[in-house]
Amino acid sequence: MPVSARGPLDRRRFLAASAGVALATAALPGCAASVDSGSGSGGGGKTLTVMTLVDEWDAKTKRSIEKMLDVTLRIITYDVTKLNAMLASKNPPDVVRGIGATDAPYFAARGLMTDLDPYFAKSEVLKVSDLASANDVWRFDGEKQGTGPRYGLAKDYSQDSMFWYRTDMFEEAGLELPSDTEPLSMDEWLDLGERLTRRRLGKVKVYGLNATGMGVFSQLMWMTASAGGSVFADDMASVDFSSPEALKAIQWYARYAKADIGPSLLNPNPDGWDGPTYQASRMAMSCSGFWFGGVIAAEPKLTEVSRFAPAPQLGGHRVSPCFGGTGFWMPKDAQNKEAAWKLFEWYFAGQPAKDRAAAGWGLPSLDSLRASMPKENAFQKQAYAVQEQEAAYFSVLPVSPYAQTDALNGVLSKVLPDAIRSGTKPGKIADALNSRMNEQLARGKELVG
Amino acid sequence: MVLARRKVVYLLLIAALVLLLSPFGWLLITAFKAPSELRAVPIHWWPHHPSLDNFSQALTLFDYLGYARNSLTIAGLYSVLITLASAWAGYGFARLQAPGKRFVFGLMLATMMTPQIITLIPTYLLFAKVGLVNTYIPWILWGLCGAPYLIFLFRQFFTNMPKEMEEAAVLDGCGQIRIFWRIFLPQSWPVIATGLILSFSWSWGDYISPALLLDDDRTTLSVKIATGYVNEHGSGLFTLVAAGSVMYIVPVLALFLVLQRGFITSTATSGLK
Amino acid sequence: MSTEQLTGPDATPDAPSPARPAGGEPGGRRAPRHGSQQARRAGAFYVFAGPWVLGFLGLTVFPLGYALWLSFTNSDGLSPNARFVGLANYREVFADPDTLASFARTGLFAAITVPLTIVAGLVLAVLLNQPIRARGLFRTLLYLPAVVPPVGAALTFKLIFDRDSGSANGVLDLLGVNGLTWLGDPYARYVLIMLTVWGCGNVMIISLAGLQDIPGELLDAARVDGASQWQSFTRIVLPLLSPVLFFQVVTQLIMTLQTFVPLLISLDPSPKGVSAVPDSNYLIMIDVFSQFFANGRYGYASALLWVLFLFIMLVTLLVFRLSKGAVFYSVDPEQAKPKTRTIGDN
C-alpha cells in the first residue's frame, strides 16, 4: 500500500531538523530583550518571506532575526502544494526549506532556483572549501545532480543507510554485535533481523529490523549501487530495474517484506518513523542515519544499549549515501535575495549551526563544526568513531530531475505490495516498475525540455 | 403481542444506540488516558489514572482557542452572508418578473446538483494566482452569491406570501429593496434559521477548503485538529487528538441539543422538497 | 434535472397581467404607472438575481472553464515547456488502469454504502415511528453521529481502528484473534464503509419526517381490509415514501462519488498526503487530488476532474430518468406550501 510518499517521509526528514532547531533558537545573541515590537513592525520596511516549519523559530528569535537583518520576517508554513502555487504565480518566498537530495534536481532543472555560487564567492562566512561533501546533493549541472552550481545548503545531514541497534537485544538472542568498521552483507543483515524478531501468537512483538530509512525508492537505489549497478540511466531520463543488480535489490526487498520482521510497504508503521517503536523497546535495528542519535540521547536507558553501525552492502561496491540534506534554497524570483543570503550566513555558519552540531541531530554541514559534535558518553563516542570511518564512503546518488522522488515512491507502493504478496517474479516486477516510471520520466522530460 | 412487539422495538433501538454511540465512548476513554497507556499490551479498556491533562495540553500545544476563533469567524461570516444573499436572490425569483428569469431559474436549479468539490481545486489554482489564498475573501465571495438550495427554499417561502403586503408597500412608494428588507425578510425567519444552521454547521465541519486555501496560522480548527497533534518528531499524539476532538465535537453537539428543533427541521426540509 | 417541469408553472402566478382586476381605479391613470412599474420590476429582478449570476459565472463557470483549458495541456503548473496535447489526457483517463480501477472502486463503494446507509436510516426511522416512549430522546441520540463534523468522525474512527491502541484490535485480542492493520490495505475499505454508514442519521430524520406525513387513516383502512404489517409497509408506506428515498439516493450518490474522507483517515490528512491513502480506499477524488498535488499533473488531473463532473451529471440525469413516473415533484409555487414540520416530539 502507498505509505511511502509524502506524509511519513516528510515527518521523518523534518524530525532531523526540528529538535536541533529548537535548541538553536534559544541561543541567538540576546539582543531581543530591548525589542518589543511585534513581528509586523520590524525595521527596514523590506519583508523577508521564509517558507519553513511552523515552529522553526520562536517569537523572540524572529524578533532578533528582524533586528539583525533589518527586515520584517514573514514565516509561511512549509507545504509543497502552496510552494508550487507560489512558484507558479511568480511570487515565491525568499527562502524555502527543502530536501536537497530529492528537491534540488527537480526545481533546478525547471529554472526555479537561484545559483548561489556568486554569493559564496563574496561571502566572508560561508566558504565552499568548508562545506561538507554532502552539500553536493544541492548541486545540479543542468543534467545531473552532484556537480555544477550550488542551489542550496544543508543545515545538517546523515548517511541514511547506516543503522542503529540494541546491544541488549543482541545479547538476549545470543548474537554477535555488528562490526564498527566492516559493513554487514544485506543477507547477514536480514538474517539478524529474523533472529531478533520476537512474536507472540504469531503477532510481532519486537521488530528485528526496519530496513527502510528514507523511502523504498532510495533504498533500492542504494542497494543497486552497492551491487555495482544503477537504477537510473546515464541521462537520468529512464530507470532500469531489469539489470542484474537492480533485480537483486528487488529480490532482497521482497524477502524482507515477506519475512514480516519490520515495517514495510506491506505493513506500514503507523508512526511514519522508528522513534516511538524504538523507544518502546519494540525494535532491535533501525536503518537511520546519525540524526537518530538525537532520539537516543534523549533517553538515558537507550544511550546504554544503542550502538551505530556502517551501512550494509548488497555487493562489493561500498556506498553510504545521503537521502536528505534538508536545508534552505532561494527561488529564482525571490524579491529579497541579499537579506536571504544574510539569513543563510547566520543560519548555516552562525550560532544556530554550532548548536545544531552540538545537539547531535545530524552531521554539521560545515566541516569546521565537526569538532563540536557530541562525544560525552560511550554511545556518542562510538557513533562518532563509526561515522568518521563511514564518511569515506559517501557519494551522491543522483535522482532524476524529471520526476519527483515521491511520485516514484508512489509507483513502488502501488506495484510492490500486491506483487510481493502474490510472489510475482522479480523480472516481472521490474518490467512493471520500468514501464510506469519511465512513462512519468518521459512526461517530465518533455516538460523540462 | 403488542407488548412483545414493543419490547422488540426497544431492544432494537437500544442495540442501535449502543452501536452508534460506542465510538463516542472510545473517544472519551482515549481522551482521559495517559499517553503511556496507549501502547499497553493488552490494551487498557479504562484509563488507569484518568486525568484532564490531555485537555489542557490539547488547548495549549497549539493555540486551540485562536483556531476556534478562526473557525467561528469563517463560519459566522459565511453563514450570515450566504443566508442573506440567498434570501436576496430568492426574493427576486419569487416576486419579480423579467425576461430571462425562467432561464436563470432553470440554471440555478441545475447547479443545485453541481458538486462543489469539483470546482474547488481549479478555484484554488485561480485564487492562488491572484493572491486570494490565505485570506478569508473566498468565503466572503462564496457567501455573497448565495447557495442554490437556500435560494430555492427562500423562493418557495416568498412565493407563498400574500400579494397584498407587497402591493400596499408599493402604493406607499417603497422600492423593491425596502420591500424585501422591511417586509419579506423579517417574515422568513424559519428559512433564515434553516439557512444559518445548515451553512454554519457545514462550514464549521469543512476541511478541504481551509486545508487548500489557508496557511497554517490562519486555518480552521477542523484542519488543525486533524494535523496539529504531533510531537516534534511528527508522530501522532493520540490522547491529545482525542481530547482535542472531544472539545471540537462537544460544542457542535451542544448547539445541536439546544437548537434541536431547528437542526432536525433543517435536515428534514433538506430532504423533502 | 427536469427544469422545464419545475419552471413551467412559474410564469403564471405573479405575472403583472393586465387581466388582474385593477380595483376601482380608472384605467387611464393606472396604465402608464403600471408599465413603468413593470420595467422597474424587471430592473429589480436583475439586481436581486445579479449576485448569484455573477457568482455562478465567476466561481463555477470560470474555474470549470479553466480546468477544461488545463485538461488539454500537459501543464504541471511549473515547468516552462507546457503545451497543448489535444485529447491525450482524456485518452489516458480511459486507458490508465489505475484510474479505471479507482473509478470501479468508487462505483463499488457507492453501490455498497448508498443502499446500506438508506436501509439503515429507513429501519431506524420505522422503529422510531412505532408507538414508543421517549421517542424524542431516542431520535436525538441516534441522530448524534450525523451531527459530528467529518473531521471529528474521521479522527474518532482513526482512534478506534488504530493498530496498537484501538479498541477494534482490543476486541479481537479478547477473542484470541490477531489484530489487523485496519487503516491499511485491505481492511481500510471496511473502516471507510463503517464510517460512512455511521452518518445514517440524516436519512433517518428525513425518512421519519416522510413517514409522519403519511396519513394515519390510510394505514387504518389497510388494517381494516386485512392487510398485514408488511403488506401495508411495502404497498403503502414505501410508495408514498418514494420521493423522499429517491432524493436521498441521488444526494447520497453524488456525495459518495466525490468523497475524500479516505484522506481524513489516512496517515497524513493534508492535501499533499493523498498518495499515502491505502489502495483499497483510493477513490476517484483521491486520485484527482493525488494527480494535482502529489504528482503535479495539472493537465491530467483536470481531465479527470472533468470526466468525474460529466459522470456525476450523467448519473444524476440517469437516476432522474429512471425514476420518471415513479416520483413526482411538485414545485408549482402555488401548490408548494412551506412545511413547518414538527416531528414526533414527545
pLDDT (tens digit per residue) in B79-132: 999 999 999 999 999 888 888 888 998 888 888 777 788 899 999 989 988 888
Q: To the nearest whole angstrom, how far is the Cα of C6 from the nearest Cα of chain B?
A: 8
Contact C79 A448 (CB under 8 A): yes
Tell me: pLDDT of A12 over 80: no
The pTM of the full predicted model, rounded to 2 decimals, is: 0.81
- pLDDT, average across residues B210-232: 87
Find the closest chain B residue to C149 by CA distance: B205
Q: A2 in contact with C at a CB cutoff of 8 Å?
A: yes
User: CB under 8 Å to B129, separation ≥6 — which residues?
Assistant: A85, A88, A89
What would the pLDDT profile of A120-135 be if each residue is shown by its tens digit? 999 999 999 999 999 9
Query: Is residue A202 scored above 60 in pLDDT?
Result: yes
Q: For residue A187, what are the contacts with CB-CB under 8 A and spacing of at least 6?
A: A252
> Using the beta-carbon criterion (under 8 Å), do B234 and A15 form an inter-chain contact?
yes
Q: Rounded to 5 degrees, what are φ and ψ at A70?
A: 60, 50
Q: Is B167 on the interface with A (CB under 8 A)?
A: no
Residue A15 pLDDT > 50 = no
**Nearest CB partner across the interface for B133, out of A15, A85, A276:** A85
- What is the least distance, in Å, from the CA of C265 to any CA of chain B? 9
Listed by number, the residues of chain B in 117-146 with a beta carbon closer than 8 Å to a beta carbon of chain A are 124-125, 128-129, 131, 133
Residues contacting residue C16 through CB under 8 Å, at least 6 positions apart: B97, C34, C37, C38, C41
Q: What is the pLDDT of residue C327?
A: 52
The string of DSSP letters for C81-144 reads: T--B-TTHHHHHHHH-HHHHHHHHHHHHHHHHHHHHHHHHHHHHHHHHTSS-TTHHHHHHHHHH
Among C78, C276, C280, beta carbon nearest to A3: C276
**Separation between Cα atoms, residue C259 and residue C277, nearest integer Å:** 13
Size of the A and B interface in Cβ pairs below 8 Å: 56
DSSP for A331-362 reads: BTT-S-HHHHHHHHHHHHHSHHHHHHHHHTSS
pLDDT band at A227 (very low <50, low <70, confident <90, very high): very high
Of A6, A85, A407, Cβ closest to residue C276: A6
DSSP, residue by residue, chain B: -HHHHHHHHHHHHHHHHHHHHHHHHHHHHHHHS-GGGGG-SSPPSS-SS--SHHHHHHHHTTTHHHHHHHHHHHHHHHHHHHHHHHHHHHHHHHH---TTHHHHHHHHHHHTTS-HHHHHHHHHHHHHHTT-TTSSHHHHHHHHH--HHHHHHHHHHHHTS-HHHHHHHHHTT--HHHIIIIIIHHHTHHHHHHHHHHHHHHHHH--HHHHHHS-TTT--HHHHHHHS-B-TTS-B-HHHHHHHHHHHHHHHHHHHHHTHHHHHHHHHHHH--
Show which of residues 142-161 on chain C sit within 8 Å of chain B, judged by CB atoms. Answer: 142-160
pLDDT of residue A17: 36
Q: What is the ipTM for the molecules in this complex? A: 0.90
Read off the pLDDT of each residue in A260-284 and give the average, rounded to a whole number: 86
Task: Considering only the beta carbons, identify the residue of C81, C98, C276 that sits closest to A7.
Answer: C276
Q: Searching chain A, which residue's CA lies closest to the CA of residue C265?
A: A270
pLDDT of residue A262: 93
Does the pLDDT at position B139 exceed 80? yes
* Interface with chain B: mutation pick from A6, A13, A15, highest number of B CBs within 10 Å: A15
Furthest C-alpha separation in chain B? 80
Based on its alpha-carbon atoms, the radius of gyration of chain A, rounded to whole angstroms, reads 22
SS3 call for C231: helix
Chain B nearest-CA distance from A236, in A, is 30
| Cα distance between residue B236 and residue B217, in whole Å | 20
pLDDT for the residue C159: 92
Judge: B106–C6 Cβ closer than 8 Å, yes or no. yes
Distance (Å) from the alpha carbon of B127 to chain C's nearest alpha carbon = 10
> What does the pLDDT average to over B162-189?
80
Which member of B131, B215, B232 has the closest CB to residue A19?
B232
> For position C313, what pLDDT does the model report?
86
| DSSP reduced 3-state for C282 | coil
CA–CA gap between residue A87 and residue A97 (Å, rounded): 14
H-state helical runs in A3-99? 6-25, 59-69, 80-88
Picking from A73, A89, A203 by the largest number of B CB atoms within 10 A of its own CB, the best residue to mutate is A89
Is A118 exposed, middle or buried (CB count within 10 Å of its CB: 0-12, 13-18, 19+)? exposed
Residues 206-245 of B with CB under 8 A from A: 212, 215-217, 230, 232-236
What's the mean per-residue pLDDT of chain A? 86
Shortest alpha-carbon distance between residue A449 and chain C (Å): 7
Residue with more model confidence, A433 or B237: A433
**pLDDT value of position C216:** 83
B168 touches chain C (CB under 8 A): no
* C26: number of Cβ within 10 Å: 9
Q: Which domains does chain B have, with CATH numbers?
A: 50-271 (1.10.3720.10)
Q: Which residue of C has its CA nearest to B116?
A: C60
The predicted model gives A46-73 an average pLDDT of 89
The yes or no reply on domain A6-158+323-384 and CATH 3.40.190.10 is yes
pLDDT at A66: 92
**Residues of C with CB below 8 A from B93's CB?**
48-49
More confident residue, C42 or B245: B245
Question: Which residue in chain C is spatially nearest to A408 when comparing CA positions?
Answer: C295
Comparison of pLDDT for B134 and B29, the residue scoring more: B29
CB within 8 Å: B128 and A10: no
- Check CB contact of C326 with chain A, cutoff 8 Å: no
CB distance B216–A77 less than 8 Å?
Answer: yes
Interface residue C279 vs chain A (CB under 8 A): yes
Strand-pairing partners, residue A175, are none
The answer for residues whose C-beta is within 8 angstroms of residue B239's C-beta and 6 or more apart is B30, B31, B33, B34, B35, B38, B54
pLDDT band (50, 70, 90) for residue B2: low
Q: Are A361 and A17 a contacting pair, CB within 8 Å?
A: yes
The ranges of chain C with pLDDT < 50 are: 1-33, 328-346
The residue of C75, C76, C84, C287 whose CB has the most chain A CBs within 10 angstroms, and thus the best one to mutate to test that interface, is C76
pLDDT in tens, B33-81: 988 888 777 788 888 888 899 999 999 999 999 999 999 999 999 999 9
Q: Is C96 on the interface with A (CB under 8 A)?
A: no
Contact A105, A136 (CB under 8 A): no
Put simply, the answer to whether C66 touches B97 (Cβ < 8 Å) is no
A87 touches chain C (CB under 8 A): yes
Residue A14: band (very low, low, confident or very high) from pLDDT cuts 50, 70, 90: very low
Whether residue A9 is predicted with pLDDT greater than 70 in this model: the reply is no
Which partners does chain A have (≥3 C-beta pairs < 8 Å)?
Answer: B, C
Domain C90-323 has CATH 3.90.76.10: no
Q: Which residue from C38, C45, C333 is facing B160, i.e. has the nearest CB? A: C333
Locus of grid cell 534536481: A105
Query: Does B129 touch chain C if contact means CB atoms closer than 8 Å?
Result: no
Chain A residues in contact with C74 (beta carbon < 8 A): 443, 446-447
Cross-strand partners of A264: A267
C90 touches chain B (CB under 8 A): no
> Count of CB contacts below 8 A, A vs C?
109
| C132 in reach of chain B (CB within 8 A) | yes
Give the model's pLDDT for residue A406.
85
Spatial separation of the C-alpha atoms in residues A180 and A407, rounded to whole Å: 35
Q: What are chain C's partners, defined as 3 or more CB pairs within 8 angstroms? A: A, B
pLDDT digits (tens, 9 = 90+) for A387-398: 999 999 999 999
| Whole-number percent of chain A with pLDDT over 90 | 67
Q: By CB neighbour count within 10 A (0-12 exposed, 13-18 middle, 19+ buried), where does B223 fall? A: buried
* pLDDT computed for residue C307 by the predictor: 93
Shortest CB distance from A2 goes to which of C271, C279, C295? Answer: C279
- Most A CBs within 10 A among C78, C172, C281, C282, hence the mutation to make, goes to C78
Do A76 and B212 make contact, defined as CB atoms within 8 angstroms? no
pLDDT tens digits for range A155-170: 999 999 999 999 999 9
The arithmetic mean of pLDDT across residues A103-125, rounded, is 94
Q: How far C288 CA sits from the closest chain B CA (Å)?
A: 9
Across the interface, whether the CB atoms of A203 and C179 are under 8 A apart is answered yes
